[in-house]
């Protein structure tokens, strides 16, 4: 019989990529739990890139350039921020195994970070896995108001500009719902995933110094008529 430890040892970066391509992702029960569990939700959260909603106040923050946004410059710090405890959340699902696997994918160009900086300090960001024309958002964090929301907005614009078809959010939260995140069933998700994997998204196509105005213009131009 396979033990939980055996399952942990079997997960390699290549296996992880194949799992994402099948609509499966790993999670740990807690940060100090060495085991990983494969998750395939019956209901899946996705953020349609052609139906994004950016709150007016957030648009003003982006236009004003309150935060500096960087790409792929601080992977370790971002994943540490995503895995840190905070009021109301003493533990997370990001354990050492996930950190190691994602760091390897980052080094291979499959995992990316979008980071928000203020006065030279990292104050928010997100990370996720890129495969074909699909981006699998894993986690985000912020220590200043709107920092993670700005990162998500910049991510969406980068995916649109790079020709992506799918932004997987895994689960719907209040934080994500305000951007237009919807929930679809497993069968619908697999249809979306198959179409996205047939596309070659270019995560780095958008210049890293794109301005907030350029970001908002990209998103607005991609929106489907209501």
pLDDT at 216: 98
> What is the reported pTM?
0.92
pLDDT tens-digit series, residues 148-174:
999 999 999 999 999 999 999 999 999
Beta bridge partners of 166: 134
Q: In this structure, what are the phi and psi dihedrals at residue 14, rounded to the nearest 5 degrees?
A: -65, -40
pLDDT tens-digit series, residues 134-145:
999 999 999 999
Write down all domains in the chain, each with its CATH number in brackets.
41-222 (3.40.630.70)
Give the separation between CA 144 and CA 122, rounded to whole angstroms. Answer: 10
pLDDT at 226: 66
pLDDT tens-digit series, residues 24-35:
999 988 878 888
pLDDT tens-digit series, residues 34-89:
888 899 999 999 999 999 999 999 999 999 999 999 999 999 999 999 998 665 55
Could you tell me how many residues make up the chain?
A: 226
Mark 131-140 as b/e (b = at least 16 C-beta within 10 Å). bbbbbbbbbb
Give the separation between CA 18 and CA 25, rounded to whole angstroms. Answer: 10
Give the separation between CA 141 and CA 126, rounded to whole angstroms. Answer: 6
Those residues with Cβ within 8 angstroms of residue 40's Cβ, 6 or more apart along the chain or in another chain: 23, 24, 25, 186
């Amino acid at each position: 019989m396979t033990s939980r430890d055996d399952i942990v040892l079997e997960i390699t970066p290549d296996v992880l990529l194949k799992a994402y391509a099948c609509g499966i992702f790993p999670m740990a029960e807690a940060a100090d739990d060495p085991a990983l569990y494969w998750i395939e939700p019956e209901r899946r959260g996705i953020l349609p890139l052609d139906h994004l909603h950016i709150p007016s106040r957030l648009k003003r923050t982006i236009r004003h350039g309150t935060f500096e946004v960087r790409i792929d410059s601080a992977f370790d710090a971002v994943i540490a921020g995503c895995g840190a405890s905070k009021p109301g959340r003493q533990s997370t699902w990001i354990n050492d195994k996930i950190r190691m696997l994602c760091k390897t994918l980052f080094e291979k160009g499959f995992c990316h970070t979008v980071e928000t900086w203020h006065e030279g300090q990292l104050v928010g960001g997100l990370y996720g896995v890129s495969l074909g024309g699909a981006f699998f958002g894993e986690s985000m964090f912020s220590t200043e108001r709107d920092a993670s929301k700005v990162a998500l907005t910049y991510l969406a614009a980068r995916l649109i500009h790079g020709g992506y078809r799918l932004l997987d959010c895994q689960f719907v939260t209040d934080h994500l719902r305000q951007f237009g995140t919807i929930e679809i069933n497993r069968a619908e998700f697999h249809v979306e995933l198959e179409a996205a994997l047939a596309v070659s998204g270019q995560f780095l196509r958008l210049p890293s110094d794109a301005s907030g105005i350029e970001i908002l213009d990209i998103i607005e131009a991609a929106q489907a008529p209501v």
